[in-house]
Copies of this chain bind each other. A is one copy, B any other.
């Protein structure tokens, strides 16, 4: 898969995922506000991809300050904090980070990316030219690392699959949701690369249809067999033994293993438990939020009711219709068979497993 996001000529270029599968169009964003809007409006989505977009967006925001007289009054490029308005750059950086992180409250990767960029900022804020370079380098490193992380998740997770398995997935935790390869779909890809025969059943994932529009599309692009169902069919599919495992991504994993993911995930977890089918979360360490003790502490984003009342301009219910539109739900740890991370596969009790992750201790 080609990159869904990249830095090009002082701008962020993104595949506009809202237009898939109908149209494959890249858009060029020249300000961090445009990046923030693109995250909010789901031009790009998926927790890891949102993290990368946030990093690029912050790098872009700082880049936009180039030539600002409040930043640098000397033509020699002397450190701006000494020449420009005191605290101006710090204030601006805070505004940029706030604009980027205010977009999707549930995705912890957003805050994870912002924290990493903040560290780069603190290290280099006294030299604007260097700061620009280092922020961009950090964003590009996160992008590259995410790609490698997905391959590690794939390698770890594919061990759990048998040749002949059909995997039920939800939303899109694929190449389109990450720097490439995918988390849940990375596990599928790695199993296939290991020589196993794997098929996928994709739930369409209303209201935004990421399953139908994105998962089906990217698996078809890779020639991986995929069958589309509506979300309500999941129970029937399990009753008919048409799926041997459920694998989904995560938007945030709490310290005890409770996992926020796309609305509909919790229903799948309950259905999988009832049918004795394993239910796996595939998530990079950046999705694990040890600062949140349990699912009760995870903020669930509610989105525009119009997403439920309409589908691309086609009315499904009248405009005055009351709607409940949470974007995510929380699956309690006890319903999760295993959490597949880039470091290792975690099994219950997750509190212990998460605490044992070396990658998190180093953060």
Q: Interface of A with B (CB < 8 Å)?
A: 21-22, 170, 201, 203-207, 209, 212-213, 216-217, 220, 225-237, 239, 242, 263-264, 266-271, 273-274, 308-309, 311-318, 320-326, 329-330
Contact = CB atoms under 8 A, between A and B. Distances in A.
A266 B271 CA distance: 10
Contacts of A21: 315-318
Contacts of A201: 324
A239 B292 CA distance: 20
A322 B201 CA distance: 10
A321 B219 CA distance: 11
A321 B231 contact: no
A317 B228 contact: yes
| Most chain B Cβ neighbours within 10 Å, of A231, A264, A313 | A231
Contacts of A315: 21-22
Contact of A206 (B216, B230, B273, B330): B230
Contacts of A312: 311, 314
A232 B263 contact: yes
A329 B239 contact: yes
A274 to B, nearest CB: 5
Contacts of A273: 274
Contacts of A227: 322-324
A348 B264 CA distance: 30
Contacts of A314: 311-314
Contacts of A326: 233, 236
B264 A232 contact: yes
A216 B317 contact: yes
A229 B308 contact: yes
Contact of A271 (B233, B271, B309, B322): B271
21 contacts: A170-B232, A212-B321, A213-B317, A217-B318, A220-B320, A220-B321, A226-B322, A227-B323, A228-B321, A229-B308, A229-B323, A230-B231, A230-B263, A232-B264, A233-B264, A233-B267, A233-B324, A233-B329, A235-B267, A236-B266, A270-B271
